[in-house]
Every structure is written in structure tokens, then in C-alpha cells.
Chains A and B, each alone.
Chain A
């Protein structure tokens, strides 16, 4: 009897869950949509109290949900009300710009895409599952829509960049072309005041290979720390290191995601190599080990996840610098004249470029906006992209707030953001192009410094047209055949790479072990697969 009841219960439970299982996602889709539009309706009625006559909320206005990564934005409703006034007038769209906290964004989008959730546009990037999601067919094909519905957006962006967001010849995302251009040239930044104090000639770093540059920096850091024992020589952290994502420092480029084994040398783009087998990796780890033992880096570098406190406290003597033109080519470039997250007052710095100038393979997908392939309003979404990219007033309103309220200019023409007011947390690059041929889509100081900033950006735009383009541009690695191996290799890499690159363990002893474990995790399959795909793509 008891058993029967149990069996019945079980069977019932299973049956109901089967239905829930397959019908669920459509239902939930509708549900969330309903909730969304309910919300939106509430919003709208709220909006329209002081504006247009209400009663039109179900009219022709189309709701679009745009997800992007941002910390909570203060006063968002005020700005979005104003922005939607413009958008509704121009293209009849009501935009819900939905910020998701940076730490959760990738996961959240992953989940929304996997569950077929309701979204129309989203920010995407190659460092945020872009290839993964395109492989799943999550993003709409925009190849034909862009030239007709977003002609201005389409034509402003250098040809080469579109290659980066193409998959199988189809454009699946819109490049957010930025005020700082796409060409990369990386280098190092050192504290100028300390360099002067200990007599370090930072200009000697120019164009040096990374290993040599690090050796030179090591001497400088040693002297600097003698004079300032409470400082830290170099940043080490669990999440980032020169062998995780900075291929350019090694004159290499990644095939597919940067963290997966299998890079190429820019001079020999046809051969896929395991970047951890290179001499450079061994030498780099030895240098970091040396620095660790000398106390140049934090002892717990392998486990530090957040270096913001160290950065804002101006603790670092030297660091990587992604910005350019550097202090040699363009001495006035204010962007590189301070250490990361510091001010020119507490941490003045000089930058020097060491790598070549290149548009990396991923540059197109470095920051892009994609449209949901299942969205009911793909065309409206593309129109919205065009509007965000061409209506400077709208873009500036959303990204910088209102002049005189959220940002102000002082009598010298320097702008500053007003504390506690609307603040986009510098995430304007996620929702559209901040590039403008006439420099009207970002805040510039209205004085000489502002003009200089424009001039330095002009240099980059010029370079974008002439720089080397990565030999891998337009190639998309399909990781499906080796995803098992990738998952296993990632586990090994997560385990050992932070320790190796922060100097916490001895490279001579541990790198061979690391390589051995990678091998048993299937790294050779990944390399072979990448090699095969590249060869097929080149021919």
C-alpha cells in the first residue's frame, strides 16, 4: 500500500516535470515577457505623467531590452526618461537599458541565452563568450540589415574590424568603435617621480622585447623599493598575468580564446604552438620567481583577486600599459601620464611602448553589441543601434548625463563628473561607438588639454587605417570538437598558471609538471584541432 502510494507519487512527479521540462522554457519566456512589459507599462505610465497624453502605451511603441554590464547607475530613471523621449520620437522604440553587475554579467547572459530568455540586445565581447554564443546561434545575422538600416554605423568602422565579428561570413554583432581606436600598441608604465629619484632612464625600454624590458624593470624596481619599502614593485594577481591574455607582449596572437592553449607567433602565423611550452614562458616565470624571492611582488599574488585597493593607494612602481601613443611619441598624452586608477598628483607616470602596432584578431569583437536571434524586433533593434551610434545628443545623454547637472566644466574648461549624480561608470563603450570623426561623442576638456586628447586620438585613428592586421583576423575557432579537452586543460591552467606567473612556485620544477598535466588533459588535441582549422581556413 505504502509502496504503491510512493510509486504513484513518483510517477506523478516525474510526469509533471517532463511537461514542465519541455514546455517550460516557452512558458517562462512568455511569463518574463509579460512581467517585463507589465513593468514597462508601469514605467511608461509613470513616465508619461508629465509628458505625452497617456493611453498610448500599447500603441506602436516597441519595447527593447538591452543588457549590458555596469554597476548600479544612480538616477538612471531621470536620464532614461529623457532618452526614451528621443528614442520614441525617432524610431518608436522604448529602450530598457538593463545594467548587470560586471562580476555576474557573463554568467547571466550565458544563462539567459541557454534558457531562451527574453532579451533583444546585449553587449558582447570575445573575452565574454562571444564565440561560444555565436556557435550556439544566439546572435542574429545582421549582414544584410546593417547596410540598409544602419548605414552610418556600418561605414564609419574600418573594414578590417568587421572581420572580427563575422562568423562563417555573416556579421553577428555590431562593433563598438571607440574613441581610442582599435589598433593596439602596448608597453609599460613607470612612476616618473621615482624614476627620477633613483635615476632610471625609462626611455631605454622603448621597443625592447618583453623579457629584456622586464629585466631592465627589475633593476629599477629593486632600487625603487629600497627607497620606498612600503611600495609594491609589480602587480601579480590570480586573474591576470602576461601569459593569460597579453599575447601581444610576446609577439603572438591567440587562436580563439586567449586562455586556451594554442597561440601563433605573428611572424609564423601558420604554426599553432602551445604558449606554455615556449622559452618565453619559462624565462618569464623565472623572472617572476626571482621577483617573488626578492620581495618585489606580493607574497600572496597567486590568490589575490582584487588589486583595486593597491592600485588606488598608488602602491605600484611599474605596470603594464595598454594605452598609447606613449610619452615618447606624444609627450603630452594625459591618458598615460598616471598609474592605473590613480591621479597625476599621487602617482605621476610615464609610458613607453614596446610592442608592435597591430589590430588584433579579436579587435572587432573587443566590444560589440549583438541582437538576439530569437528577438521579435530584430529590425527595430538594428535601428536602435544606428540611432545610438549617430545621435550624439542621445548617446551623450545616456553615457554622460546632462551638462551642468551630472557633469560640469570649470572656468578653465576642465570637465568633471558631479559626485552622487548620474554616472555611467565609464561604461559608455559597451552601448555604442564613442568614436566620432568630429570628436562629439565623449567629454573633452574645453581647453588645450582637450585639444591634445583629440590630437592623440587622431594619431590612433590614423594608425587604425595603416596598422598591421593580425593574420588571424576573420578566423573563428570552433571549439566544439575539443571542448572536453578544453574544459580539462582550463582546470589545469586555473590551478597552476596563477602560481607560476606570480612566482609563488619554482618554475624549473613545476613547468615540466604543468606541461605533463596539460598533455594528459589533451592539450595536443587542441593544438592539432586549431592547426587543422587554421589550415583549412587559409586555403
Chain B
């Protein structure tokens, strides 16, 4: 099957592919500009960088790993690395599970008006920035004026007890992102040929059986691709979703143990220092971790379902 695919692909002449390449060009250009052009900057991680001499002119660090010492000597290196991987995987699982469930449920809502309302309501949080969510959360959790503490008569210091945030962070993340992903899955479900369901109904299949035997297997490729795209997202530096981890805990030092990811830690400790070498070193480490994660996920998927693997 795979072989035949490849063979077929080769036969298409370049001329006919050209329009597609042109359509791709802006995206490729953007990627080249944003992701490949800055690559030589990695050198800074091994240099005693100062802007007047430029990247190439600055002297090398001695020893070469000196810029990395900051990160690995701190007692937090392990914690933030763990947090980064932990939240990355947990949130991927939770959001995927939640979004697929929601998409299936919403698909069953037949009323036009109610379905639109539900979809809109679920999608809305996606458009809120994390800063706004930070304040919504603060209104809920503030110790003396928070809605939760006040309506349940509790006196929990949410912002001083790190333990709660292992749950709060993923919940908040789910709340914001689930709508967006469920829309993607709904589109996938809508693409399924209704003949399958009609045939199944004729054979007397229950709703549950239809979901299990038709819907899920048919959207499996979508699930895998979306999950793969997700992996490494938290390692994606400023472009990833680190904003959540930066703003939600409201800068409360007591929460850093469970809310700090590599990005936030590096940002906080090096922002005021203005040291390019150490920041780049930390960024490089982060990218490497992301790379490992992407390869790892791809290997797992290759074992489970070779056709869906990215490479």
C-alpha cells in the first residue's frame, strides 16, 4: 500500500505540482524566516556574547558549557523539566480526551439553534487571552474576596499552596483549549460518510457501538496528527503556550514548585540579568527536550500505527 503510494506520487509531473508549491510558499517563507534564520544564533549559547562584537566576533566561553551551568546547577532544573514534560503530556491527554468526547456529543445534538449555542459557548474561552483568564481565576480563588472561598465559606489560601495547582493548571488549560480542538474533531466527524451509520443502524447497532466501531476508528488519524502536533508545543519557547504558566499563578512565589516550566523559570531569572549566553543556553536545552519528545512520540506511534507516523 505504502509502496504504491510512493510510486504514484513520483509520476505526477512537477508542472502540475507547481500551483501547490506556490500555495505553500508563503508558509514556507515564514517558517524559514522565523525558525531557520535565527538558528545560527545558537552559537550564542557557547559564547561570551556582547552585541558590539556580534555573534561571530564574541569570544568563546571557557569552558564551552559555562553558560549551561546556571541552569543545571540550580535545584530547580529537575523540577521545571519535570513540570514541563508532565503538563505537556497530561494536558495533551486531557484535552484530546475531552475534545473528542465533546465533539461526539455535540455531533449528536440535532437542534440547529441549541447546537450553535453549545458550540459557541464552548469555543468562547479560546478567544480569551491568558491574562484575562488570570483575572477570572483570581476572582474565583482570591483568599479574602474570592468567589469560591466566599460562597463555600472556606478559607483556603489558593495562591500560597502549591499542591492545588497540579489540578488547577490542567483544568484551566482544558477550559480554554477544549472548544478549539472539539471543533477540529467535529469537522473530522462531519467528514465521515453517513452510509456507515445507516448500515450500522440497519444491523441494529446501538449509539455506543456506532461510536466505538465507526466514529473513533475513522477519526483516529486526526487524533494522532493533532496529538503529534501538540507534542513539543510547550517546548516551543515564546511561541508555545507558556503564557498560561506565567500568568495564571499570579506571580506567587509559593506556587513556583508546581507551576514553573522551563520557559517561565528562565524568563524570570534571566530577564533582569540581560545575559544572552545563559538565556540561549537554556533555550537550546529546552529545544533539545522538545526534539526528544517529538521523536519519542513518533516512535511510539510508529509502533502502534505505522501509517500515521509523521516520519
Q: Is the CB of A488 within 8 A of B38?
A: no
Chain A nearest CB, measured from B256 CB (Å): 5
Q: Which A residues lie within 8 Å of B40 (CB)?
A: 14, 17-18, 21
Is A329 engaged at the interface, CB distance under 8 Å to the other chain? no
Tell which of A300, A485, A499, A505 has the most Cβ of chain B within 10 Å.
Answer: A300
Is A212 engaged at the interface, CB distance under 8 Å to the other chain? no
- Map CB proximity to B onto A277-320 as digits: 1 under 8 Å, 0 otherwise: 00000000000000000000011101101000000000000000
Given the known A-B contacts A299-B157, A484-B70, are A13 and B256 also in contact in the complex, defined by CB atoms under 8 Å? no
Q: Is the CB of A488 within 8 A of B70?
A: yes
Which of B47-55, B81-89, B289-297 lies at the interface?
Answer: B47-55
Tell which of B40, B157, B268, B271 has the most Cβ of chain A within 10 Å.
Answer: B40
- The distance in angstroms between the C-alpha atoms of A13 and B41, with both chains bound, is 12
Q: Which B residues lie within 8 Å of A115 (CB)?
A: 51
Q: Is the CB of A495 within 8 A of B54?
A: no
- The distance in angstroms between the C-alpha atoms of A522 and B274, with both chains bound, is 20
Tell which of A116, A491, A504 has the most Cβ of chain B within 10 Å.
Answer: A491
Q: Which A residues lie within 8 Å of B159 (CB)?
A: 300, 302-303
Given the known A-B contacts A21-B55, A517-B75, are A13 and B36 also in contact in the complex, defined by CB atoms under 8 Å? yes
Q: Which A residues lie within 8 Å of B52 (CB)?
A: 116, 374
Q: Is the CB of A495 within 8 A of B256?
A: yes
Residues 494-536 (chain A) with a chain B CB within 8 angstroms: 494-499, 504-505, 517, 520-522
A373 nearest CB neighbor, chain B only: B52
Q: Is the CB of A25 within 8 A of B54?
A: yes
Partner of A302, one of B28, B252, B269, B273: B252
Q: Which A residues lie within 8 Å of B41 (CB)?
A: 17, 21
Q: Is the CB of B144 within 8 A of A521?
A: no
Given the known A-B contacts A10-B36, A17-B39, A483-B273, are A303 and B157 also in contact in the complex, defined by CB atoms under 8 Å? no
Chain B nearest CB, measured from A245 CB (Å): 14
Q: Is the CB of B54 within 8 A of A22?
A: yes
Q: Which A residues lie within 8 Å of B278 (CB)?
A: 483-484, 487
Is B299 engaged at the interface, CB distance under 8 Å to the other chain? no
Chain A residues at the B interface, C-beta cutoff of 8 Å: 9-10, 13-14, 16-18, 20-22, 25, 106-107, 110, 114-116, 129, 132, 136, 238, 298-300, 302-303, 305, 374, 483-488, 490-491, 494-499, 504-505, 517, 520-522
Query: Which 10 A-B pairs give the minimum distances between C-beta atoms?
Result: A17-B37, A495-B253, A22-B54, A13-B36, A299-B143, A484-B70, A488-B74, A303-B252, A491-B269, A110-B274
A9-B28, A486-B273, A487-B278 are known; give 15 further A-B pairs, CB within 8 A.
A9-B36, A18-B55, A25-B51, A116-B51, A116-B52, A299-B144, A300-B159, A302-B160, A303-B251, A303-B252, A488-B70, A490-B273, A498-B253, A521-B74, A522-B73
Could you list 17 A-B pairs, sorted by A, with CB under 8 Å? A13-B33, A13-B39, A16-B37, A17-B38, A21-B54, A106-B272, A298-B144, A302-B159, A302-B254, A305-B251, A488-B70, A490-B272, A495-B254, A495-B256, A496-B253, A497-B253, A498-B252
